[in-house]
Amino acid sequence: MKITFMGAGSTVFARNVIGDCMCTEALRDSVFALYDIDGERLKESQVILEAMRKAKGGFGKIECYLGVGQRKEALRGASFVINAIQVGGYDPCTITDFEIPKKFGLRQTIGDTLGIGGIMRALRTIPVMEDFARDMAEVCPDALFLNYTNPMAMLTGYMLRYTPVKTIGLCHSVQVCSEGLLKALDMEEKLEGRKELIAGINHMAWLLEIKDKNGVDLYPEIKARAAKKMQEPDFKDKVRFDYINHLGYYCTESSEHNGEYNPFYIKGRYPELIGRYNIPLDEYPRRCVNQIEAWKKEYAELLENGVKEHERSGEYASRIMESVVTGAPCQIGGNVLNTGGLVTNLPEEACVEVPCLVNGSGIHPCHVGSLPVQCAAMNMTNINVQLLAIEAAHTRRLSHIYQAAMLDPHTAAELDIDSIRKMVDELIAAHGDYLPKYH
């Protein structure tokens, strides 16, 4: 069996996901094909993963493929393809996505999922993923494509609507949502045996139900404790706790992400909100710089002291592959098209995040029904942008990029239409060859 990792220069993530496979008896004897366009990063991943492979008993084989010319061979015969690419990287593209909007008075925190940063990231990533899809249709047409790259809903939605590739979108936030909430509220005793239901869209899926092992609804106590937590000046998850107060439900992704998915918290006319809600402006560029430096130190330490023992993580990828290979079922939170109305009050062409059963015949999304109307309404403000960005990528029409930006809730709350169009034009010009031509 062959497992191909696209963007294997994402060394820490490749180590976690491929390391998980090496911890799994049904997967450990696979050929692990590592693909990247950066030779130095690819070599670092190879060194780390080879050391891990030997430490785990020497099962399987690692192969490396560098550059577009070797991409098709990296994919040839793969059963599973994991996608973790970042087109344009931190420098120049992430810097561009933050600095040009800042000139127009538009501040962001993460900029990889929604907003103008998410739109531009989608537009430069989709053409590369289309190339992957064409190669896969030729050399591994039955492979399952596991997408981890953001903006999740835009990229996964595009792959499912406009390519023949079997695709599932995977995020890290679903499986840690309720655990993080209960720990933050000193309710750890409720973790064991808890029952939950999470559904919505990526980074804004809602913890619709949470009960303890005896079936007792935990939300009344959660709401009472959350209200008190909001009074702590240094508490960092205030946006999501504010959601509990005003919308009635907690959501999956962090407050630094959700701070920019709406018109409520980052407002030029109300600068005091930044401090009140602990909004970390420019968080993603800062995080990128810190991660680059941290990885240099960690890599040097690994070369000197050897690879640390890897235990299977909570990532879904290895569990999905194990279930497909062995037939033993598991449940995940996955990003899929809303085909057949899995969430009945969201559009069928939307990419939704819902519980999915995985077994030997593949991935089976579960019907959820209606979201609370206020939760669906919040999701729709994001889905509008996602669908327009997908339409822009598909049609190559510039007007759809403008419209996606105009309908983004945070962008629209801060800028007038003329400024939005000028900002889009500047971003397109600055990204240059990272984007296709639009008309």
The residues carrying an active-site annotation are: 172
Asked whether 238 and 221 are in contact (CB, 8 A), the reply is no
| DSSP secondary structure letters along 231-270 | T-TT-S-HHHHHHHHHHS--BSS-HHHHTTSSSSS--TT-
CA 178/CA 236 separation, integer angstroms: 16
Query: Which residues contact residue 167 at a Cβ distance below 8 angstroms, ignoring those fewer than 6 apart?
Result: 144, 145, 147, 156, 159, 160
Backbone angles phi, psi at 112, to 5 degrees: -120, 0
CA nearest neighbour of 121 among 392, 397, 418: 392
Q: Give me the helices (H) in 371-416, please.
A: 373-395, 398-407, 409-414
Longest distance between any two alpha carbons in the chain, whole Å = 61
Rounded to 10 deg, the angle between the 177-184 and 219-229 helix axes is: 60
Phi, psi (deg, nearest 5) at residue 272: -65, -20
Nearest-angstrom CA–CA distance, 160 and 206:
23
With contact defined as beta carbons under 8 Å apart, do 118 and 112 qualify?
yes
